[in-house]
Amino acid sequence: MSLLATGALDGPERAAALAHAEACAACRTDLEAAQDVLALAGHDPVRDALPPLPVGALLARVQARIAETEAAARPGPPRWVKVLVPLAAAAAIAVVTLRRPSPEPRPVAPAAPRQATVAEDALRRLESSMARENAVRYLNDAQDVLVTVASAPLACDRKRARVDVGEEARRSRELLSRRALLVETDRAEMAGARPVLEDVSNMLREVAALDPCSRPEELLAIQRQMSRQRLLMKIDLMTWELQG
C-alpha cells in the first residue's frame, strides 16, 4: 500500500494493488496512513527552500574548487608514471652498470631486486587501499542494518506482538558472506580494525539468526548489547580512520 500511495506503481501492479485495497479494509487504512505521510512531506519547508547563496557566488565557489583540484593534480605525474619512471630508471641503471667496463668486478645483482621492490610497493599500496575500501563499505552497510535494528521496530504483519526483522536478517546473512569474500582482516594494516570488524560480524550473526517475526525481547537483547559495546559509534570512528 505504501508503494501505491507514493505513486510508484503503474500498470498491472497498480491495478492489482487498487483492487486489493477495495476488498481489504485494513489495507485501505494502511493506504490512508501512507497518504498522510506523503501529504505531510508535501508541507515540508524544504520543498520551497532556496540556497542561501545566489547562483553567481555558488558558481564562483565551484570554479575555485575546480581550479584548486586541477592545480593540486598538476605538479605530480600520474600514479602509473610514478611507478613506471623509477622502474625504467632502475632498468637503465642496471643496463649501464652491466655494460660499463669495470676494473673490478662489481655486484650488479641489486638492480633486479630494486625493480621488484618498486613494483611490489605499488601493488601493496593498491591492495592496501582496496582492503580499506572494502572494509569501509562492509562497515557502512552493516551499520545501516544495525541502525534499523536499534531504532523502533516495526510490527510484524504475520504474527501479533512480534517485530519484523526479516529484511535485516537477510541482509545480515548477505553481509557476512560478503565479508568472508572481500574483507581481508589478516592484513597488517587491518590490525586496528579487526576488533570492530569482529564485533560487527558477531552482531550481524545474532541478527541473521533472528526469526523474521521475532519476539521484542530478542531484539531488545541485541539493542542492549549494541549499546553496551557502543558499536555504532565504534563503526563511525573506524570508517573515519580507514578512510584516512
17/10 Cα distance (integer angstroms): 10
> Shortest approach of another protein to residue 150 CB, angstroms?
10
Three cell numbers, residue 132 = 580499506
Residue 177: closest CA among 195, 204, 149: 204
* 155 to 194: interface string for another protein, x by CB under 8 A: ------------x---------------------------
C-alpha 91: how far from its chain's center? 41
50 touching another protein, by CB under 8 A: yes
78 touching another protein, by CB under 8 A: no
**164 Rama class: left (phi>0) / alpha (psi -120 to 50) / beta:** beta
Between 21 and 90, name the residue whose CB sits nearer to another protein.
Answer: 21
Residue 77 CB contacts under 8 Å (≥ 6 apart), including other chains? 85
- Residues in the interface with another protein (CB under 8 A) total 50
Among 48, 104, 186, 217, binds another protein (CB under 8 A): 48
63 touching another protein, by CB under 8 A: yes
> Shortest approach of another protein to residue 164 CB, angstroms?
8
Between 5 and 203, name the residue whose CB sits nearer to another protein.
Answer: 5
> Shortest approach of another protein to residue 162 CB, angstroms?
15
Q: What is the 3-state secondary structure (H, E, C) of 166-227?
A: HHHHHHHHHHHHHHHHHCCCCCHHHHHHHHHHHHHHHHHHHHHCCCCEECHHHHHHHHHHHH
Q: Are 135 and 183 in contact (CB under 8 A)?
A: yes
Segment interacting with another protein, rule: CB under 8 A, options 49-57, 107-115, 122-130, 204-212: 49-57
Among 18, 19, 89, 147, binds another protein (CB under 8 A): 147
CA atoms within 13 A of residue 141's CA, in its CB half-sphere: 20
45 touching another protein, by CB under 8 A: yes
| 120-134 as b/e: b if 16+ CB within 10 A | eebeeeeeeeebbeb
Among 143, 172, 201, 214, binds another protein (CB under 8 A): 143
Element (H, E) at 124: helix 111-150
Among 144, 177, 195, 220, binds another protein (CB under 8 A): 144
Residues in touch with another protein (CB under 8 A)? 2-3, 5-8, 33-34, 36-53, 55, 58-59, 61-63, 65-66, 69, 140, 143-145, 147-148, 151-152, 154, 167, 233, 236, 239-240, 243
